[in-house]
Every structure is written in structure tokens, then in C-alpha cells.
């Protein structure tokens, strides 16, 4: 999401003054562009498109731009070029086919390639993720945070008020705000990172300092927990113990493992929670879909046990339902921005080095050219029935593009699937009845890089006495 927070108009005037010199030099020194920029809203002198940048639900504004200007839109903010992509083809042509040019990304200081290599090694394929299937199945009655902490650090959470979960939720709230593209002015004007904290508009430095302590605690404490358990010989299999096993782990490698494990938790938990919330909302709003999935589960699994991953291939409708969960409510509507490493000419447009490239994933998964009645929750769109071809696979889009595709996509997919199939096997989800009237939940989102639904009411009841017994087990 593109928003600028903690900046007053006075701050903006100060920042504008700082950029005047840069702008004047730019006009006199820089050579003529080899091709035109992509089309986009016309900006103002000096400040560019600052006033055009959406503050909430950026994907809606990006969609309007796409309809008006085409699949590639350009804006410029205080000298920083931003490219918005509004079609799957364009995103793949640029970020997949030209991945060497479009795979850089503005990252947090603690992120880097060592983390991505560790993530790929331990959870980078379906086969690698299979080792954690039993954990997913056994702990589904706890929160997603509990499941992810068990996988990342082998840590069993308390059923209520667990200190790690509480701390992690606070850190993830900070991260969601920080990772939203343009959430802070320093993301758009990087040189502000070097200004003193008293400089107008530099309030982000105070906020970063406050958040840093919680982040350090969340990264280091579970990591030390695993190391202590390994010394005692009682560490269960986990992402961290897998990478630390053996001898000769250097300080640099230990550091990378520590931050990789946190990345696994942060990336997996927040997005999975969002997807599961959308599952329960969809089942509340579309009861016929729920009944059809439950009928399939009842035939394949039966009433006497919970589903497992071994049942997945035999549950095509339920699998299609999971795909529709990922498409219908897009967890990362604008993804994470990529950064261009070198000047490029694409489709006749000039994409300068250093540009931020933002895929409008929300529109790609709600594009009526790709999906029939996209606002409708319809798993059957992904089934090859009655001679029709299934519609576009959402997992090719929702986890990102190119070399920066989400390394935890297989784990996330597995988490969402097992939660869906187990929940539908034992629960009936429906609208709440208040004063004799069924309450229809509103579909609305909270701000942040991970798109969470606003709280809503629904009724969740065991389907039968047998289902209740399975839940209690």
C-alpha cells in the first residue's frame, strides 16, 4: 500500500525545499531519456505525484490507473520513479523473463540472500515441507502462530497468553506497517535515512528505534531456546535445529539462521492468518460452497477421523476451494516492491534504474478478463468440468514473481489447505443470528502490506457429536 504517514504539510514543505537543488541539477545535467516513461497521472513541479499517492486501499487506485493508462503506469515522487503493473502478462514479462533486471528489492537491514537460501533449503519444495505435515495436522487446534513457532523453533506455545506469541504479534503489526510501500517518506526518498532525528519529517527514526527492541527480542529469544535444547539433547525437529545441526556453524551462519527463522515466522504467520480469516468469511457468506466441500470430505474421509495430507489428491473440490480463498481475498494486494537494477526499455517505455516496481496483485486476481464474475466465491472456476478449461491458477500470482517469489509458498499452501479441510470436516460455519435476524458480515480490509479483514461475526459449531469428539481429541 502506498501511504505516507507521520508527515505534516510543514514537513512536506521542508522536504520540498531540500529536493529543489536536486531537481534543478536533474533538469540541467541529465541527458534526454531514450524513450518516454509509461503513462500515468500528471504530477506537480518539484513534488511530482505526492498528492496522487493513495493513502488507503492502494490497489483500488492502481486499478483505476490501469483502466485509464494501461497495464504499466508511472508516477514520480520527489525524484523516485514508481511503476505499477496491472496485468499478469506484464508482470511475468518484466519480473520473470527479465528477472536479472527486476529482482532487486528494498529490504529491511536484516534481510538478505543468506536468509532466502536457508528458506529454500528447508521449505523450498513440497518434498521439503512434507517433514512438517505431522506438525501441521497435530497442532491445527492452536493458532497459526503456534504452528509456525513449532515449525520454526520447535517451541510449544501455551494455550493462553503465550509470551512468544504476544511478542510476535506486536512485531508483525510493526512489520506490516513498515513494509507497506511508501508507508514512510524515507521509503520514497532514501537519502532521508541520513538526516538527523530532529529533521522535519524524520519521525520514522524515533519509531524505528522503538520497534527495534521488540524485533531483537523476538529474533534472539526463540533462537537461544533452540540452541539450549540442542545442548541438552532434547530439541525436536524444527527449521532452526535443522540448520544448526552438526558442527562448525560460524557466527555469520548462526546469525543468518536466526533471521531466517524469524522471516519464516513473520512471512508465514501473518499471511496465513489473513487467508484463514477469509476462509471463514467466505463460508459464512457462501453456505452452498461449504456444503459441497463437506459432502466431498464426508465421502472421502468419513466421520471417524480427521483429514490428513494423504487425502489431498482425493479432494479436488476442497483443493479448488483453497485456491479460491487465495484469489477471492488477496493477502498481499500490492505484493512487495521490486527494484530495477539497470535502465530498461519495456514495450517502448523507459524504466529507469532504481525504480520501484509494484505488481497490483489484487487486480490480477480480480481481472474480469481472467475470471468470470470475480467478486463471486466460486471454487468450480478451477475445475475442468463440462468441457471447460479451468481459470488461471491463482498461486502463480499471489506469491509474487521472479527471483523474489515467496520462499515459503509451499508451507503457506500446506497450512491453509490443512486448516481448511480440518475446519470443514468438523465445523459448520454460518451467519450469526441477533434478535431473530441473520447478520451478514461486511467485506472490508484493514490497512497494511498484509491485507487483513476487519473483524466480523460468524457462528462456528461442531457438525455432530462425533465431530465434537474429534475436536476434543
Residue 132 DSSP class: G
Residue among 408, 128, 378 nearest 265 (CA): 408
Helix, strand, coil percent values for the chain (each to nearest 5): 55, 10, 35
- Dihedral-angle region of residue 233 (phi above 0 means left; psi in -120 to 50 means alpha; beta otherwise): left
Residue among 84, 26, 75 nearest 51 (CA): 75
CA–CA distance from 261 to each of 113, 253, 473 (Å)?
Answer: 14, 12, 30
- C-alpha cell of residue 412: 503457506
Helices (H) and strands (E) in the chain — how many of each?
Answer: 19, 10
Q: Is 458 annotated as a binding residue?
A: no
Reported as type and span, the H/E element at residue 439 is: strand 437-439
Q: What SS3 state is found at 417?
A: helix
Q: Using an 8 Å Cβ cutoff, are 389 and 381 in contact?
A: no
Question: Which residue blocks in 42-155 are alpha helix, DSSP H?
Answer: 58-69, 88-91, 99-102, 113-123, 126-129, 133-138, 144-153
Residue among 273, 58, 17, 324 nearest 183 (CA): 58
Residue among 260, 268, 322 nearest 117 (CA): 260
Residue among 279, 267, 274, 277 nearest 400 (CA): 267
Cβ neighbourhood burial of 154 (10 Å; 0-12, 13-18, 19+): buried
Please state, in angstroms and rounded to a whole number, the distance separating the CA atoms of residues 236 and 244. 12
Q: Using an 8 Å Cβ cutoff, are 32 and 39 in contact?
A: no
The b/e string for 175-193 (b: 16+ C-beta within 10 A; e otherwise) is bbbbbbbbbbbbbbbeebe
- Binding site residue list: 406
Residues annotated as binding site for heme? 406
Amino acid at each position: 500500500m502506498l501511504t505516507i504517514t507521520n508527515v505534516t504539510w510543514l514537513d512536506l514543505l521542508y522536504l520540498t525545499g531540500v529536493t529543489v537543488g536536486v531537481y534543478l541539477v536533474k533538469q540541467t545535467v541529465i541527458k534526454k531519456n531514450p524513450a518516454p516513461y509509461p503513462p500515468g497521472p500528471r504530477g506537480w513541479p518539484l513534488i511530482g505525484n505526492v498528492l496522487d499517492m493513495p493513502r488507503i486501499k492502494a490497489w483500488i487506485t492502481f486499478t483505476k490507473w490501469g483502466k485509464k493508462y494501461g497495464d504499466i503506469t508511472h508516477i514520480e515522487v520527489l525524484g523516485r520513479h514508481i511503476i505499477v503493473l496491472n496485468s499478469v502478462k506484464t508482470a511475468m514479462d518484466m519480473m520473470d523473463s527479465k528477472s536479472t533486471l527486476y529482482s532487486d528489492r528494498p529490504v529491511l537491514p536484516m534481510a538478505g540472500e543468506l536468509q532466502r537460501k536457508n528458506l529454500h533449503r528447508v521449505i523450498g519444495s513440497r518434498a521439503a515441507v512434507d517433514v512438517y505435515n505431522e506438525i501441521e495436522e497435530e497442532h491445527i487446534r492452536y493458532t497459526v502462530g503456534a504452528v509456525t513457532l513449532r515449525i520454526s523453533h520447535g517451541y510449544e506455545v501455551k494455550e493462553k497468553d503465550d509470551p512468544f506469541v504476544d511478542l510476535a504479534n506486536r512485531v508483525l503489526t510493526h512489520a506490516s506497517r513498515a513494509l507497506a510501500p511508501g508507508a514512510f517518506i524515507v521509503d520514497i526518498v532514501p537519502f532521508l535515512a541520513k538526516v538527523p532525528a530532529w529533521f522535519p519529517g524524520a519521525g520514522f527514526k524515533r519509531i524505528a528505534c522503538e520497534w527495534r527492541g521488540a524485533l531483537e527480542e523476538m529474533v534472539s529469544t526463540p533462537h537461544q531456546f533452540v540452541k539450549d535444547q540442542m545442548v541438552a539433547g532434547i530439541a525436536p525437529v524444527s527449521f532452526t535445529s535443522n540448520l544448526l545441526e552438526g558442527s562448525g556453524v560460524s557466527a555469520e551462519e548462526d546469525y543468518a539462521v536466526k533471521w531466517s527463522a524469524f522471516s519464516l515466522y513473520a512471512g508465514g504467520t501473518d499471511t496465513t492468518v489473513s487467508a484463514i480469516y477469509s476462509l471463514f468469511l467466505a463460508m459464512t457468506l457462501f453456505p452452498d460452497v461449504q456444503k459441497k466441500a463437506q459432502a466431498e470430505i464426508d465421502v472421502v474421509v468419513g466421520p471417524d477421523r480427521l483429514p490428513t495430507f494423504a487425502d489431498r489428491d482425493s479432494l479436488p473440490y476442497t483443493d479448488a476451494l483453497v485456491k479460491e480463498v487465495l484469489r477471492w481475498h488477496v493477502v498481499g494486494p500490492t505484493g512487495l516492491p521490486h527494484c530495477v537494477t539497470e535502465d530498461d526499455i519495456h514495450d517502448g517505455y523507459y524504466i529507469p534504474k532504481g525504480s520501484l516496481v509494484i505488481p497490483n496483485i489484487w487486480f490480477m486476481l480480480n481481472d474480469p478478463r481472467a475470471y468470470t464474475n470475480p467478486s463471486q466465491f466460486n471454487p468450480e472456476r478451477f475445475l475442468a468440468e463440462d468441457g471447460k478449461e479451468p481459470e488461471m491458477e491463482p498461486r502463480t500470482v499471489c506469491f509474487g514473481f521472479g527471483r523474489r517469489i515467496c520462499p515459503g509458498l509451499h508451507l503457506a499452501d500446506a497450512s491453509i489447505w490443512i486448516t481448511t479441510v480440518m475446519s470443514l470436516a468438523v465445523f459448520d460455519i454460518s451467519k450469526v443470528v441477533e434478535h431473530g435476524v441473520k447478520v451478514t458480515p461486511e467485506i472490508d480490509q484493514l490497512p497494511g502490506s498484509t491485507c487483513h479483514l476487519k473483524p466480523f461475526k460468524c457462528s462456528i459449531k461442531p457438525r455432530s457429536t462425533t465431530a465434537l469428539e474429534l475436536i476434543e481429541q
